[in-house]
């Protein structure tokens, strides 16, 4: 049974009300820290998600098209490994555009459960997929996939489940967080269930840094949108022109870090509180962790999965891994 639209909207409204309180608490806590930090999940509001979609089209941002090419080449093989009558669960599904060709290629998929925080985007995607794949049950679940409650809202099933986690979303998590998240995935799954995971690989730092400091400055807008969002939703007064976008590869941590650099000494108010910035001080806004193939394999193994197969592009810029629960 698909979730009724009215239920979905109510569920969405309740989730979003709690979400605003959590946003405020997280922003105030993050700006109080020695290294000012804002959780990267807040970059993806409606405007941020649109900017991120623009990033995905950029020449400098190789990730999306490289992953798409790998999928395009190996979809039948992947669908074959997944098997028939599978329930596909996608945490952070967004517009569900990556799942659609996979579902179309799979042998009589049982259901598709996209899990995301935006009810509007999910509803549009649900209608689109149901029109293109009639007979497939598409039941969106509104929630934050890093929260255990969201997983409890998923319908129970006796069929084989496969968690679909493409887009290198795993890169947003530190190794410790990624370990916890994949353990959460494997605990939700049962023996024989699967995980199809996309991850960006370690490579030349020039290529990496260009992807996050693009020549068309879309990533800069994406990063600064977080400040505009705080201004709007939390009554802030950030002057976005008094901050600069910075992105660099930290080889030891195997990640690209995104920051906003204060261009002068300044005081900014958020939700009735004042925060001091020194010139050159930064707010750390996002991490994008990069993996090696052995690193990915080890991560899967220590979180309850048995790695079965991986696919890469010829430059080994990006990998898609398929693993099953032991």
- Told to check if 168 binds ligand AVJ by CB under 6 A, we report yes
**Candidate segments 28-36, 162-170, 174-182, 235-243, binder of ligand AVJ by CB under 6 A:** 162-170
Binding residues for ligand AVJ restricted to 55-74, rule: CB under 6 A: 55, 63
Cβ at position 40, least distance to ligand AVJ in Å = 7
Cβ at position 55, least distance to ligand AVJ in Å = 5
- Told to check if 236 binds ligand AVJ by CB under 6 A, we report no
Cβ at position 275, least distance to ligand AVJ in Å = 23
Cβ at position 245, least distance to ligand AVJ in Å = 10
For residue 151, what are its two tokens?
């997983």
SS (H, E, C) 237-298: CCCHHHEEEEEEEECCCCEEEEEEEECCCEEEEECCEEEEECCCCEEEEEEEECECHHHHHH
Give the per-residue contact string, 257-286, with ligand AVJ (x = CB under 6 A; - = no): -----------------------------x
Residue number with the smallest Cβ distance to ligand AVJ: 288
**Candidate segments 77-85, 104-112, 161-169, 178-186, binder of ligand AVJ by CB under 6 A:** 161-169
- Binder to ligand AVJ among 11, 186, 219, 282 (CB under 6 A)? 219
**Candidate segments 6-14, 127-135, 169-177, 186-194, binder of ligand AVJ by CB under 6 A:** 169-177
- Told to check if 167 binds ligand AVJ by CB under 6 A, we report yes
- Binder to ligand AVJ among 49, 126, 172, 262 (CB under 6 A)? 172
Cβ at position 132, least distance to ligand AVJ in Å = 25
- Binder to ligand AVJ among 212, 243, 277, 322 (CB under 6 A)? 212
Task: Quote the CA–CA distance of 9 and 281 in Å, as a whole number.
Answer: 41
Give the interface with ligand AVJ as residue ranges (CB under 6 A).
55, 63, 167-169, 171-172, 212, 219, 222, 286, 288
């Amino acid at each position: 049974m698909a979730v009724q639209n009215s239920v979905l909207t109510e569920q969405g409204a309740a989730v979003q009300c709690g979400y605003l309180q959590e946003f405020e608490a997280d922003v105030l806590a993050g700006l109080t820290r020695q290294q000012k930090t804002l959780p990267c999940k807040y970059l993806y509001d409606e405007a941020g998600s649109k900017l991120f979609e623009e990033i995905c089209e950029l020449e400098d941002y190789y990730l999306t098209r490289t992953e798409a090419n790998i999928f395009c080449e190996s979809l039948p093989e992947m669908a074959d490994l997944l098997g028939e009558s599978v329930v596909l669960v996608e945490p952070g599904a967004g517009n569900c555009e990556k799942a659609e060709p996979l579902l179309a290629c799979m042998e009589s998929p049982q259901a598709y459960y996209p899990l995301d925080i935006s009810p509007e985007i999910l509803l549009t995607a649900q209608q689109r997929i149901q029109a293109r794949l009639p007979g497939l049950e598409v039941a969106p679940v509104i929630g934050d996939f890093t929260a255990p409650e969201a997983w409890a809202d998923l319908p129970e099933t006796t069929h084989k489940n496969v968690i679909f986690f493409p887009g290198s979303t795993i890169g947003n998590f530190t190794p410790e967080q990624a370990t916890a998240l994949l353990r959460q995935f494997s605990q939700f799954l049962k023996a024989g269930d699967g995980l199809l995971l996309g991850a960006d690989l370690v490579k030349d730092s020039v290529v990496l840094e260009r992807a996050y400091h693009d020549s068309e400055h879309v990533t800069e807008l994406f990063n600064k949108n977080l400040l505009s969002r705080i201004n709007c939703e939390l009554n802030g007064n950030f002057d976005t022109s008094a901050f600069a976008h910075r992105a660099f590869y930290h080889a030891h941590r195997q990640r690209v870090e995104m920051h906003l650099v204060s261009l002068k000494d300044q005081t900014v108010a958020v939700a009735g509180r004042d925060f001091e910035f020194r010139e050159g001080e930064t707010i750390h806004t996002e991490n994008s962790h990069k993996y090696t193939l052995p690193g990915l394999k080890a991560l899967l193994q220590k979180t309850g999965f048995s790695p079965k197969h991986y696919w890469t592009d010829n430059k080994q810029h990006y990998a898609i891994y398929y693993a099953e629960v032991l």
